[in-house]
Amino acid sequence: MNRVNLAALFCVVPMCIAISAFVTRPDAVVAAEPPLETRPNIVWIIPDDMSANFSCYGETAIVTPNVDRLADEGVKFTRAFVTAPVCSTCRSAFITGMYQTSIGAHHHRSGRGAQKIALPANVKMVPKLFQDAGYHTSISGWPVNGKLGKTDYNFAWNPDVYDDNDWSSRAEGQPFFAQIQTQGGKLRGKDAKGWDKTAASAKAAYGLPTPIESVRLPPYYPDHPDIVRDWAAYLDSVRLTDMMVGEAIERLSAEGVLENTLVIFMTDHGISHARGKQFLYDEGIHVPLVIRGPGIEAGSVREDLVEHIDIAAVSLAAAGIEIPSNMQATNLLASDYKPRKAVFAARDRCDETVDHIRSVRTQDYKYVRNFLPQRPYLQPCAYKDAKAILIALRQWHGQGKLNEVQQLLFQKVRPKEELYDLVIDPYETNNLASDPDESATLKSMRGMLDQWMKTTGDQGRQPEPDSMYDSDMEVYLKSLRRKGTDSNLKEVEQNIALMKQWAADGK
């Protein structure tokens, strides 16, 4: 079934694709800067590892009154997507307003060793642009503890772009750009110890943890007791995150600055799960995005496609700061804003595990290209393989307890291309790439991705140099030796050797 004639919409020839979806925007220049003391404050609240499991987004197992209130008082974006489904690459992108693939920051935790990654000369970090405009800049966790909050950028950067870890140290009358980075889904940990701790925190805060019986898993996960418990703990982490959001908003209100503050709430990628974090299915890339502040129409809802890097342009424009003409982010709130026709995402190396996947998503379809199709979906990865949910999945797979959909993750090789009709298949389990009725859609989306990679200068088209991989792996291995985690150390060493062997074998 070919619901939308995408070939006609975007042109059959790739060069006809609406390049305005991902290049220079009409909002690139701000005519005049207002006086500094009248400009709004900008606050980003960004939890880790969390999908849009908030009640304002339709989650029914829990209630999230504080994020719901933000949505009621601002604008809620229902189709916001990250350009990278893992922390460091995602953060490298939104802090520059650039695709991580365009600035060489696409490999997770890269540039950490002797070999460094430098930003292109014409790219500045968002906090630096705010500093240059006279803003106080800060980044913290929550509650504020005297330390800088999570950065995790994949390029060399100067910590001086942050004045402090808290906006309270600003000069009188000085506007501030503050980031609050929180643990989010990481609160639940990796196993029963973390689940129990999160449940205890939820019980202390709300009187009762999320009931196990309220959990409804996506169809590609089995009702294994550990997976159900983990999901309940995840929902508790959402509730605790919502409480933190309420505390941050209350502080802004108590200080009398809330009504002159643009608050942006977003997560850095989806839930850390087998098919979520690190993958380009919607579980990994679809995130909440809520914006509240001066000039925002209360209770408005936007259903157009947006990318997480866009918060950079939104924030600069709100502060009256010129948006760099080369910035790939777009000001979603501009009066002349033209909605994106599609959003793009990329997954590359994550820790020791080498991969190369790209995707393009329209309102109705998702196209995924696997550049390493001879590798299994669940490649060895020490970080993910240590999670009880992955252990449970592998256990039931070995026992033959998974149904056909749940077995998808255990394919020993991948299709080169995947195509999903998101209207009838929102969980992305029925690959239509070989369906002749979808050939026009496949061709169109294939061309869209090719053009995006070319136009944005996707640096992932070339494999990561061995010297850079070795440089980063040495840092990783040293950290494991320092922690004394011998079992993890051995596992990572084995995985590194396997990655090199597969590369040598042409896989």
The domain ranges of the chain are 39-343
**H or E segment at 213?**
none
Q: For residues 20 and 27, give the distance between their C-alpha atoms in angstroms, rounded to a whole number.
A: 12
User: What's the pLDDT tens digit per position in 404-448?
Assistant: 999 999 999 999 999 999 999 999 999 999 999 999 999 999 999
User: What's the pLDDT tens digit per position in 67-119?
Assistant: 999 999 999 999 999 999 999 999 999 999 999 999 999 999 999 999 999 99
Question: Phi/psi of residue 255, each to 5°?
Answer: -85, 0
Domain 39-343: top CATH class: alpha beta
Question: Phi/psi of residue 344, each to 5°?
Answer: -125, 150
Residue-wise DSSP of 103-143: TT--STT-S-SSS-----TT---HHHHHHHTT-EEEEE-SS
Query: Please, what is the Cα angle at 148 between 143 and 151, to 5 degrees?
Result: 110
User: What's the pLDDT tens digit per position in 359-406?
Assistant: 999 999 999 999 999 999 999 999 999 999 999 999 999 999 999 999
Query: Model's pTM, two decimal places?
Result: 0.93
HSE-up of 190 (CA within 13 Å, CB side)?
Answer: 10
User: What's the pLDDT tens digit per position in 125-160?
Assistant: 999 999 999 999 999 999 999 999 999 999 999 999
CB 302 within 8 A of CB 78: yes
- Label each residue of 233-272 as H, E or C: HHHHHHHHHHHHHHHHHHHHHHCCCHHHEEEEEECCCCCC
Instruction: Write down the pLDDT at residue 33.
Output: 72
Instruction: Write down the pLDDT at residue 364.
Output: 98
Count CB neighbours of 152 within 10 A.
18
User: What's the pLDDT tens digit per position in 27-57?
Assistant: 444 446 789 989 999 999 999 999 999 999 9
Strand partners, 417: 369
CB 163 within 8 A of CB 170: yes
